[in-house]
Every structure is written in structure tokens, then in C-alpha cells.
Amino acid sequence: MRDAEGMQPTIPFWFGEAPGRTQELSQTVSSLRQSIADLLITDSANSAVQWVVDEIGLPCSGATQLVDYLQAGMNALGVMPTRKSLVMERFFDEVGDMHVVIHSPFGSRLNRAWGLALRKRFCRSFNFELQAAANEDSIVISLGSVHSFPLDEVYRYLQSATVRTILIQAMLDAPMFEVRWRWNATRCLAIQRNRNGKRVPPQFQRMDAEDLVAHVFPDQIACFENITGDREIPDHPLVNQTVADCLTEAMDIIELETLIADIEQDKLMLVAKDLREPSPFAQEIINARPYAFLDPAPAEERRTNAIRNRSWADSAEAKDFSLLDGDAIDRVREEAWPFINNEEELHDALMSLVYMTEEEFNSNSYAQWQAPLIESGRILQLKLIKNTLWIAAENLPCFKAVFDEIDSAEELDKCLAMLPDFILEKNWESEHALREIVRGRLEGLGPVTTERLALELNCSGAKIDAALIALEVEGYAFQGQFTPQLKQAAIANGNAPTEWCERRLLQRIHRYTIDAHRKAIKPVSLETFTEFLFDRHQLLAVTEQTSNPGVSLDGQTRLQSTLNLLDGVAAPAASWEADLYPA
């Protein structure tokens, strides 16, 4: 500290840090959540409010607000996040990107460490620089449009034996290392703070600190194009002290290793849910301030800006956010299936869908356009052992690579003779060909099970699963329980079959589901609102008394109702006596 000598205040050039919540306080917050959740499950919201007033001493208004917030979040997730019950949610934003939020009330020091390590693991797995943020109660990881993975596997991305190494590599790029490096270098007098009797400006001290790290730890600021594998940490007192400060002061590596070990040993309840929109608990981390960011992207370029948040949630409507609308799924299935009105559109549909079953071909009355296409060798009927499929001639080499039982019939030879050389010259591998067949089929079906695809193609479920998992790695397909019947069966029994859906179709289903909920709470008409106001202010009762003199109204009751309507109205005392009370 030194005298500013009348200098004007300036804004610091770093985001700043604040002390994180202690483990004891985090444990208390978790216990409070669990106590309120138990009361909400076993009793009622009024009992929870009364318990908060009696035990904690909050005023009734504050207790009601706290219980309403926790109840809305628990209804959306289906469980209350605590230190014993970790909850992970995933949802789409308005532009189709995904966000993963981990609800872990362990404090910002542990969450910052967990978020940085997870971000580094994601970057190494998907070769994509992610945006992430962490606060006292949650972590958000913003993904692009090329990521798809089973959500519950994220809990297993880190191992207790290697999490320290991964976190050290991750924090070398974070601002915390640079700030603490300058602090330690200045404390040990490795950087001059005064030169020739004058104070060295802060920006020059930053340059000196960068020059020092270039001599002591060159890999920290080295070009990534010249680095292979992990950066080697030199055994230097300044480097060791800076790494220790980052791991133990800015973060809590000991608690993180304990948490990862508890996850490995199944000591915690781990919940993973795909939601149609972010839960109320996720609003805080979505709107986090710059000091919570774990990457250098500025606030105006955050992917979380594309998330459309609710200003409020109706408790009657804010149920489990993982349930999708059945009508939205049916609508997307109808839109995904190609519209066919002539023979050219039929050929294009078979090109995009790869194949149609005999039932689909006949039920949609496509037979009226099949004759000219068959004669010209553009489509053909492929007869497998159990099923008959209609395919475009261009897809025939792909099917021949997968199904050895396809005979070289006369119509097949005719189609092969009509194909260009570049199609015939391509050598399809069986796995690649099956993956492309499944890819095209997903574009027109919406949510579909592995069993259905295996039955249609007369193929083993293991091969179909391998193709679907390959598409999931590409970010093309998602797995889960999407239709309401399967989702409720999964919630009740936990053994519902897995469905697969193409990414863009699933995004559209989520958007239609949210639109349906918004329409359910759209504003009423002006006439309905006016009628409500008339009834609210008892104008209808006055009209009824005028038209029917036999109807008597209790003046005392009407006066009391009127005063209740004026509850909270601010007006000068003279106005009450002169205007309001007489009226």
C-alpha cells in the first residue's frame, strides 16, 4: 500500500478475485437445501416457510422467496442439488448450441478447479476450445454444434490419479497463474519496483515478469505449435510457489481430488438430465459476471448470451423440464419426412432417406410414380431375407457393401449399368456404409430406437449401435428417452429403451416444446382483462344491484374489500381524507 498522492482512480486491468466460500459455509448451504427439500417432499411449502422463519430467523417475505426459488428449481430438475446429490443438466440455446451446467454447491474454489480441469479434458477430447464459468454453486460449459456424448459420462471424464496433472496444465493458461507469478516475483525481489529512485510503472513490471518467466519457464508462454504433449514444469522455487498458490489459494485441489475419488467409488448420487430449457438454478451461472469466467472470451462474446431465460416461472407449469411435448415430436416427424408430389421428388427422397420400407412406400401412395423410375433404372426394390426396401440406384453400392445376401439379379445389373463410373469406383467399407445408411434414415424419422432400425435392415443390434455411436462421436446424433411414454417409463422403472435422434431435429423438438409452453401462458384478450377488472373492483355487483333492486349488498363488506384493494397504495395523507375515503 502507498499514498496515491491525489491521483485519479483507475480501473484495474484484470477481472479480479474474491475469497471463495469456505467448506464449512458450503456444507451449511447444502444442509439448508436438503432440509427445505425434505419439508417440500414430506409436508408442504407453508411448512418449509415456517421452518425457515423459526429456525433461521428470516422474515416471512424472505423465507417465502427462498422456498419458492428452491421449489421451482427442484421441480425443474426432479431433485435438489446438494453436496451428496450432484445434478448435471444439458440444454439447447436459441442458435442450436449446447450448454452443460453442473450443480455442485462446493464453493467457487473447488468449482473453479473442477471447471478448469473439465474444460481441458473437453478440449483434448473434442479438439475444440470451450467457454466455461464457475461460481459458488455451479459450473457451466458452453459447447458448439459438433459435440454429442452421453451426459452421465461427464462425471467420469476425470480420475483422481490424474486430475492434479490435468489441472496444472489447464491453469497455466488462466490469468491466475500470471497474476500470482508477478506477485511472487515481486515479493522475492526478482523484479524491481523502484529504479533510479522512481516507482516502476505497473505495465513495465508486467513486461519484466514476462521476461523472467521466459527465462525460468519458457513453455508457459511458448507457441503451442512447437509444443508436443504436456508442458514440462521446471523445478524452480518461483514456479513451485506459483503453482502451489494457484492450486491451494485460488482453487482447492485437495477437495477436488476427494470429490473425484468419491465419484469413482459411487459414494454420491449422480443425476444427469437433458432439459428443454435451463432450470431456475442455472440462471445464476448463465448470467455470471467476468470474474467467474474460466476462459479469455469477453462478456459480449459469451455463448451463454444466446440462452433465452424466463423472467418468471409458473409453479403449476414448471414441472420436470426433461419432459418433451408429444405433439412437438409428432410435428417434427411430419416435417422431417420429405414431401413428395412427383417422380423426381420421390427419387430425391430415396436419395436423402437412403431407403424406405415397403409399408412406408405403399401407405403414402408412392406407387403411382414408381413405374417410370424403375424402367429408367433410377430406383429398385431390394429384397432382404425378411424385409423389402425401396432404394435409389445411387445407394446400391452402399447396400452391397453391408449385405452379402443381395443377389445379382437382372434389375440390379440394370441399375449398376446406369450408374456413373465415379459411384462404382468408390470402395465402401461395411462399417462406413452402414453408418451412412443410418445417417440418412435418421434425417426423416425423428426419435427412433435401435430395435426398429435393426428390424428394418435385418441387421444385428450391435452393428446398428456401433453405427449410431459413431454418429454420436461426430455430434450428429443424440441418445436418450425423448418420447413422453419412454421418458416416464425411464423415470418410473429406469429400464426404458434408448432412442436416437438427429441433432437438428432434436433441437427443433426442444424449440417447439418451449413454444407450446409459452403459448399456454400468453396474455389474455383485452375483453377478458376488462371483465376481470370489473369483477375485481366489484363494478359488476353495483350493476347487478342497479338492475335488480332486490339484491342487497353489505356496505361493511364492500368497504373492507375496497380497503383491501387499496393495500400498498402510496398517497398523501390529505388525499386519503379528502378524496379516497369519501369515494
285 and 359 assigned to the same domain: no
Instruction: Look at the chain and report how many structural domains it folds into.
Output: 3
293 shares its domain with 394: no
Which helix or strand (DSSP H or E) is residue 489 part of?
helix 484-492
Predicted local confidence at residue 10, as pLDDT = 64
Cell readout for 109 is 474454489
pLDDT at 197: 80
Please, what is the Cα angle at 60 between 58 and 65, to 5 degrees? Answer: 85
The verdict on 487 and 534 lying in the same domain is no
DSSP state string for 11-80: --SS----PPPPHHHHHHHHHHHHHHHHHHHHS-HHHHHHHHHHHT---HHHHHHHHHHHHHHHHHHSS-
Q: Which of 79, 36, 21, 258 is nearest to 158 (CA)?
A: 258
**How far lies 291's CA from each of 108, 112, 302, in Å?**
11, 11, 13
The residues near 420 (Cβ < 8 Å, ≥ 6 apart) are none
pLDDT of residue 174: 83
- 455/543 same-domain check: no
Please give the pLDDT value at position 459: 86
**12 occurs within a structural domain:** no
Q: How far is residue 525's CA from residue 265's CA, in Å, rounded to a whole number?
A: 57
Mean pLDDT by runs of 10 across the 583 residues of the chain is 70 60 92 94 91 92 92 90 94 88 94 94 83 94 84 92 92 85 86 82 82 82 71 89 91 94 94 90 90 86 84 59 87 92 90 89 83 82 78 83 67 64 72 92 92 89 92 90 81 79 92 82 82 76 54 66 78 82 76
What lies within 8 Å, CB to CB, of 93 at 6+ separation is 99, 303, 304, 306, 307, 308
Cell of 511: 424449440
**498 and 558, same domain (yes or no):** no
Amino acid identity of residue 257, one-letter, is E
Examine residue 144 and state whether it is found in any structural domain, yes or no: yes
Q: Does the residue 169 lie in any domain? A: yes
State which residues form the domain around 535.
Answer: 523-565
Task: Say if residue 296 is in the same domain as residue 371.
Answer: no
User: What is the bridge-based pairing of β-strands 198-199 and 194-195?
Assistant: antiparallel
Pair (151, 187) in one structural domain: yes
Q: Are residues 336 and 463 in the same domain?
A: yes
Asked if residue 570 belongs to a domain, the reply is no
Cα 422 to Cα 346: distance, rounded to the nearest angstrom: 23
Would you say 451 and 477 are in contact if contact means Cβ atoms under 8 Å apart? no
> Is there a single domain that holds both residue 264 and residue 133?
yes
- The C-alpha atoms of residue 29 and residue 32 are separated, in whole angstroms, by 5
Quote the Cα angle for 184-188-189, to 5°.
Answer: 115
The answer as to whether 224 is a domain residue is yes
Q: Within this chain, do residues 448 and 535 fall inside the same structural domain, yes or no? A: no
Whether residue 393 sits in one domain with residue 269: no
Does residue 323 fall inside a structural domain? no
